[in-house]
Structures are given as structure tokens and as C-alpha cells.
Structure 1
Amino acid sequence: MASPDDRLYFLLQRAAHRLRARADRLCKDAAGISTAQLGALFAVRDEPGITQQGLAGVLGLGESAVTALVARLEAAGLVDRRPHPAEHRAVALHLTGGGAAALEAVGPTIEAFNAELRALLGDEDFLRASAALALLAEPGHGA
């Protein structure tokens, strides 16, 4: 029988799928956005004027996926595209008032979701897991 150590990737996949599905439902209920849209809104908020290529790098997505994601965010009034001040062919992404309102609306939901995870794992394991996942999420790290 395989030990949990032998199945770490599989367990991460299952946990990520279950958590994403639950978080998607909660985010949709709270602010009408998905977790993918939430991640993009955080990135645009944290780096106003980010390009779609930059957003693709932050989110770990292909540029075509980000193009579609940004189109949905723009259609929903959550971000707008402006000419990039330095890159002739690029556009700069900016959060709209609607995007800022969506982030504000989803804030308590994210806090409650994290509180549930912290209660399940305990403070020490929650912080350890967060640090390990942040390391694995960095480009050039992980297996």
C-alpha cells in the first residue's frame, strides 16, 4: 500500500480541486466572481497597469487563457484596458470601481474560508502549509 508521501501530488490535486470548487461557490455567492477572476483582480489591484502577459505570468496561465479571462472581467465591468504608457502594442489593466467593490464584497468570505482551514489544520500547520505552498508556487521551485 502506498504511503501518503508517495501520493503527495495526487493528494495536492484532490485537495486543490475540492477547495477550488467550494471557494468558487462561496465567491460566486458573495461577489458573483470565480476564484480565477478573484486571482486576476488581486493581481491587477496589487500591480495597477499590469499587462496581460504579466498577468499570465502571475497566474501561471497561458496568454490565450488570460485574454479570455480579461475579456470576461472587462465585460463584467471589473477591469478596464488602457493603452500601456511604455509598450506600444500592450494594454495596461486597471481595476474599476466594480472590481474594487467585488474584492471588498468577497473579503469576509475569504477570511471565513481561511479561518475554517486554520481551524481544521491548527495555527502551526496552517502557517507551515501556507509557506510550503507559497514556495512551490514560485517559478523555478518545486519538483
Structure 2
Amino acid sequence: MPEPEPDPRLYFLLQRAAHRLRTVADRRCLAAAGVTTAQLGALLAVQDEPDATQRALARTLGLRESAVTALVARLVKAGLVARRPHPREHRAVVLELTPGGRAALRAARPEIDRFNRELRELLGDDGFLCASSAMRDLAHWDPDASG
């Protein structure tokens, strides 16, 4: 039997899926931990990379520095992240989780686990692993890179 043709609407389907997943995850994370998924991603990145600068956070999240500046300002205002002077770069600041930020991550963990469990049930183990791998590849894809 011939292999089916790929759906030409893949990009549209990815956008719809991303929107649906973000909407559900935002609602759950806000209810459980008082943070959106964008804020949660930043908190996880700061946790994973101690002494990260806003520039490093922007690279990790794949966002423009101006967007990260606004995101960090909201996290600081909410008491989830603190800024302190960089030890070597006078214009840079280092980001660190506050006790409130660590508490938000702990509160969000059950929802993250639940979300992943539900996706694994929906897609099956093989589908979940395949989708995870494909999304990781797409997140790092650079069609303009030479090589």
C-alpha cells in the first residue's frame, strides 16, 4: 500500500495544536501556580541556568530581548524572579529565582505531569516520543543555516 500524502496544511495544524495546548496549559498553570506557560518557561530556564542574564534567557526561550525584558519585569513585579548586578559585566544583570518563584514551580509541577500524562494517553507512548522528538527538532530548525 502506498504511503499517504502528507497533509499540506501541516503548518496550520501545528498552529492550531499549539494554540489549543497553550490555552489549556495556561488555564491550568494559572489556576495551580498563578503563572502562564510563558512565565513558567522563563522560571524553568532561570532554574536550569543559574546566573543567567536576560540575553541568555532570550536565547534559551527563542525570544527577542525586548520581549524578555517585559517578561522579566512581570516576573520581578510578581516576586518570582530577582535581578542582581552581574559580577563582571557592569550593564548586565543576573536573574535568580526567589522563594516565590521556586514555590510557583513546585505548584505547577503536578499540572505539567498531568498534561504530559494526558498527551501520552492521547498519542500513545510511541506517538508521544515521536512528537517530542519532532517538536525538539522543529524548535531548533534553522532552514537558513549553511551546512
Same fold (TM over 0.5): yes
Contact kept in structure 2, 1:136 and 1:142, CA below 8 Å? no
* TM-score normalised per structure 2: 0.91
* TM-superposition CA deviations, 1:47-99 (whole Å, max 9, x none): 01111111111111111111110011001110000111122210000011110
Determine the structure 1 residue equivalent to 2:10: 8
Q: Secondary structure at the match of 1:93?
A: strand
- Going from structure 1 to structure 2, the CA distance change for 1:56 and 1:105 (only over 3 Å counts) comes to same
Which has the larger Rg? 2
Unaligned residue ranges in structure 1 (runs of 5+): none
Match of 1:21 in 2: 23
Distance in 1, matches of 2:101 and 2:22, equals 21
Match of 1:94 in 2: 96
Superposition misfits of 4+ residues, deviation over 3 angstroms: none
Mapped to 2, the partners of 1:107 and 1:142 lie a distance apart of: 36
Instruction: Give the alignment's Cα RMSD to 1 decimal.
Output: 1.6
Change (3 A) 1:58 1:141: farther
| Pairs within 5 Å for 1:50-129 | 50-129=52-131
SS in 2 for 1:80: strand
- When normalised by structure 1's length, the TM-score is 0.94
Partner SS state of residue 73, structure 2: helix
How many correspondences in the alignment?
Answer: 141
Once the two structures are aligned, what percentage of the paired residues are identical? 67
SS in 1 for 2:8: helix
